[in-house]
Amino acid sequence: MTLDEILASLFPAGHQVAVDADGLISGEGPLPDGGKALVTGVANGAPLGIEGAAKLAGAALAAIASGHKGPLVVLVDSDSQRMSRRDELLGLSEYLAHLAKSLILADMSGIHTIGLLYGHTAAGAFIATALATRTLVALPGAHPEVMDLPSMSRVTKLSIDVLREKAKSTPVFAPGLENLAKTGAVLETFDPARSLAAQLSELLQRKTAAGDDRDLIGKERGGRPKAYDITREIERLAAADA
């Protein structure tokens, strides 16, 4: 689906969502229950640099300051972070961390943050946008990757063929929508043949009261078998020392 098709399906009554020259999304649209969703994100496969990260973080912080209690939908079709010398020297990693923390703060402030992957996304841009939301869903054809296999090969000094074999048995290690779903990072894939507004409404009804349960989902799906139990053990030990 194109971004225009996604927005039309999410907001059949119309919306006020626009994309600027840098591929940054902003605006809002009405929900079937009479409320509204704020919308932000990255479009057109744009890389995420310091200006973009600051603008998206500002949108999340403005939502908190306004007292918004509806969802904040983060649409994502990006490249990786903008890996220019200028951005790196100006502290790109800190800008991306600020964006991720702003989205997490929005969630902690009562705003249900929902990431919707509809294209490509990778590396720091993926982590600071989609993975920083409370609930992450996708559309068919989305291709998320924390790190692609050629980059992994350069870092690990292992051949791409070896990495491909490892990726078959270790979803947490592997790129792609199916693997991210197995780890619990992606909750579900929306059906583009159905109303996205209806699917978003169903999701909000199911998940609004839930906290971050991606570790449990990853355990149930077999893609991240240890995270849930380790987290519970840390919580137990912390409570015992309190």
Radius of gyration in angstroms for the set of CA atoms belonging to the chain, rounded to a whole number:
18
pTM here? 0.89
For residue 233, pLDDT beyond 90: yes
> Which pLDDT band, with edges at 50, 70 and 90, does 152 fall under?
confident
Q: For strand 72-81 and strand 120-122, is the pairing parallel, antiparallel, or unpaired? A: unpaired
> Residue 144 — φ and ψ, nearest 5°?
-85, 150
pLDDT in tens, 39-63: 999 999 999 999 999 999 999 999 9
CATH number at residue 127: 3.90.226.10
Q: How confident is the model at residue 5 (pLDDT cuts 50, 70, 90)?
A: very high
Q: Is pLDDT of 166 > 70?
A: yes
Q: Is the per-residue pLDDT at 208 higher than 70? A: no
Tokens representing residue 87 in the block: 């951005």
Residue 218 lies in a domain: no
> What's the domain count of the chain?
1
Q: Which residues pair with 138 in a beta bridge?
A: 117, 189
pLDDT of residue 155: 86
Provide the 3-class DSSP secondary structure of residue 148.
coil
Q: Where are the beta strands (DSSP E) in the chain?
A: 16-19, 24-30, 36-48, 72-81, 113-117, 120-122, 135-138, 143-145, 188-189
Report how far residue 95's alpha carbon sits from residue 225's, in angstroms, rounded to the nearest whole number. Answer: 32
Is residue 226 one of the residues assigned to a domain? no
pLDDT digits (tens, 9 = 90+) for 61-99: 999 999 998 999 999 999 888 888 998 898 999 999 999
pLDDT given for residue 210 in this prediction? 63
Which residue type does 71 have? P
How buried is 154 (Cβ within 10 angstroms: 0-12 exposed, 13-18 middle, 19+ buried)? exposed
- Judged by DSSP in three states, 66 sits in helix
CB of 119 within 8 A of CB of 143? yes
In a domain, 100, yes or no: yes
Phi and psi, residue 9, nearest 5°: -80, -35
Task: Report the distance separating Cα 163 and Cα 149, nearest Å.
Answer: 7
Residue 197 lies in a domain: yes
Residue 151 belongs to a domain? no
The Cα–Cα gap between 94 and 212 comes to: 24
First-residue to last-residue Cα distance in the chain: 51
Q: Is 113 among the domain residues?
A: yes
Q: Residue 15: inside a domain, yes or no?
A: yes
The mean pLDDT value of the chain amounts to 91
Residue 12 lies in a domain: yes
Boundaries of domain holding 73 = 3-139+190-210
Residue 167: predicted pLDDT: 79
Nearest residue to 104 via CA among 212, 218, 193: 212
